[in-house]
Amino acid sequence: MSSGRWLGIKLANKQLGHQEKEADILWFAANEISLTYFHHKRRVVLLACQGTRGDIQPFLAIAQGLKEAGYEPVVAAADDYQSWIETGDLAYRRLGRDVKAWVLEEENARKLTLSPVSALINLGELLERPLQDQLEDLITASEGVDAVLFSVLSHLVCDLAEARKLPAAALLLQPAMPTRHFPSALSPYQNMGPWLNRLSSEVALRARYLSRRKITAWRRNVLGLSPEPASWAAFTIAGRPIPRIYGFSRHVLPVPSDWSDKDHVVGYWFYDPALCGEPDSDTAQSVSAFLASGSKPIYVGFGSMPIPNAQENLAILKHSLRRLGMRAIISRGWAGLELGPADHDQFYSLGEVPHSWIFEKVDALLHHGGAGSTATGLRAGLPTLVCALGFDQLFWGHRIASIGAGPKPLPMRNWSPDRLEASLRALTKTERFRQTAQTIGNKLQAERGTANAVACVRKIIGDP
């Protein structure tokens, strides 16, 4: 049997034995009996994912889909997420540790919220932590697997797959391959022209060259490979491109006409809401009381991002909202945004709850533009203002504005009371944004992104 093991037992003209218990004698006999027992070993698929909750959660959707399709998925992520992953009855292996502590460390927080150009200059330092986690944990995490799927940060999987001759594919939440239609998702610009658009992504694809000393040593000393890979470009094994499966929707970002048949845009990957957790009863009751006490609020949240000058920016936010008479549910997030006693008449301070739970209760969204927040917000059909802090967030803010589901993004570094007030007014008063967001939401709810991704994986790695 393909990809499985079998054990055959043939018994002919044999007496199997007897069992005596008190006065009862049970005889078992077999005459010309042939028994064949098949034990089929399910294919073990490693999903290596690094990042924060917004990066991990779509991978859990894929893992759940693979499990339902008959595979045996194993999720490798930081130990911050072990209990959450195992709550969904998924196997866990460690790939990193203490993500929250690392993100909020003062110097790292500064680097994570630099301007896009400065962030690109410091990209090698920003990639150091996920690289070190892979060097320490990836060999153990990948023991006994038959195929590997990996996130954008977990690029050493390509070297591992080369050494072990494993089928592999990248699971990506952002566009990665060069195109003339738009620049790298890390670019601060919406469009740089066809030539520079392609060049920006070509450069980003080779970011792992910044860590070449550690990578070449790992390839030589641990994997037994030639120190230099055949190509430093991401998403290649032995110089050959591997498939890339994208967890975003063509309704939000049309598929570039100059991408190859290795690029599969399948739709967003939403994890079962029942497995995302629910707020405790006290939180649920207090949110209900706040909602009942006045007009429908907007949601404000920045997820796991650190916020520079947090109190100053929170003051600008509250001032702008008060001038508009707008109520808001403000997530504390990892930055720990705290409201004062005088704020609770108009604002609600929210702890960690699933976005899918809170978004259905609000009128509009203001968030940082993370891929996960963007996906869930658009699926909920809510107009959105992106106030980006770094990475690909400005890219998604531009996409939301381009499809007409919200105003132009306003990066937090550009906040002022007047600018933020104008953006909030446009967010909530422009009927076109609301109608478009609802239309997009209906389309995303009809998509089968996770099922499409699992079908792609099956074609790449074979049947379970």
Kindly report, residue by residue over 196-235, the tens digit of the pLDDT. 999 999 988 888 888 889 999 999 999 999 999 998 889 9
Q: What is the largest CA-CA distance in the chain?
A: 95
User: At residue 7, does pLDDT exceed 50?
Assistant: no
Look up residue 190 and give its DSSP letter: S
Q: 463: burial class by Cβ within 10 Å (0-12, 13-18, 19+)?
A: exposed
Residues 6+ apart with CB under 8 A from 198: 178, 179, 180
**Do residues 454 and 66 lie in contact, with contact meaning Cβ atoms separated by under 8 Å?**
yes
The pLDDT tens digits for 342-359 are 899 999 999 999 999 999
pLDDT of residue 342: 86
Averaged confidence pLDDT in the chain: 87
Q: Apex CA 290: angle with CA 284 and CA 291, to 5°? A: 90
pTM across the whole model: 0.88
Distance, CA of 32 to chain centre: 57
Whether residue 126 is predicted with pLDDT greater than 50 in this model: the reply is yes
Q: Tell me, what's the pLDDT at 111?
A: 66
In this predicted structure, the answer to whether residue 59 has a pLDDT above a threshold of 70 is yes
Check residue 451 and give its pLDDT: 97
Q: Tens of pLDDT along 238-284?
A: 999 999 999 999 999 999 999 999 999 999 999 887 666 678 889 99
The residue ranking higher by pLDDT, 225 or 14, is 225
Q: Which domains does the chain have, with CATH numbers?
A: 5-39 (no CATH), 44-268+447-461 (3.40.50.2000), 279-445 (3.40.50.2000)
Average pLDDT over residues 154-173: 95
Please say whether the beta carbons of 264 and 245 come within 8 A: yes
Q: What percent of the chain has pLDDT over 70?
A: 86
Q: In the prediction, which pLDDT does 116 show?
A: 62
pLDDT for res 114: 60
Taking the mean position of all CA atoms in its chain, how far away is CA 60? 9
Q: pLDDT value at position 301?
A: 96
**pLDDT computed for residue 39 by the predictor:** 43
Residue 74 has pLDDT above 70, yes or no: yes
Q: Using the structure block, give the residue that is written with the tokens 């590997």.
A: 148
Mean pLDDT of 381-409: 96
Question: In terms of Cα–Cα distance, which of 167, 128, 134, 165 is closest to 151?
Answer: 134
The CB density around residue 111, as the number of other CB atoms within 10 Å, is: 17
Residue of higher predicted confidence among 56 and 104: 56
Residue 102: which pLDDT band, with cuts at 50, 70 and 90? confident
> Long-range contacts made by residues 4-10, C-beta under 8 angstroms, separation at least 24?
4/38, 4/39, 4/40, 4/41, 5/39, 5/40, 5/41, 6/36, 6/37, 6/38, 6/39, 7/37, 7/38, 7/39, 8/36, 8/37, 9/35, 9/36, 9/37, 10/34, 10/35, 10/36
- Span 61-75, average pLDDT: 97
Amino acid 450: pLDDT: 97
Percentage above 90 pLDDT, the chain = 69
Other CB atoms closer than 10 Å to residue 175's CB: what's the count?
A: 25
Predicted pLDDT at 212: 87
- Max mean pLDDT among 40-49, 80-89, 434-443 falls in 434-443
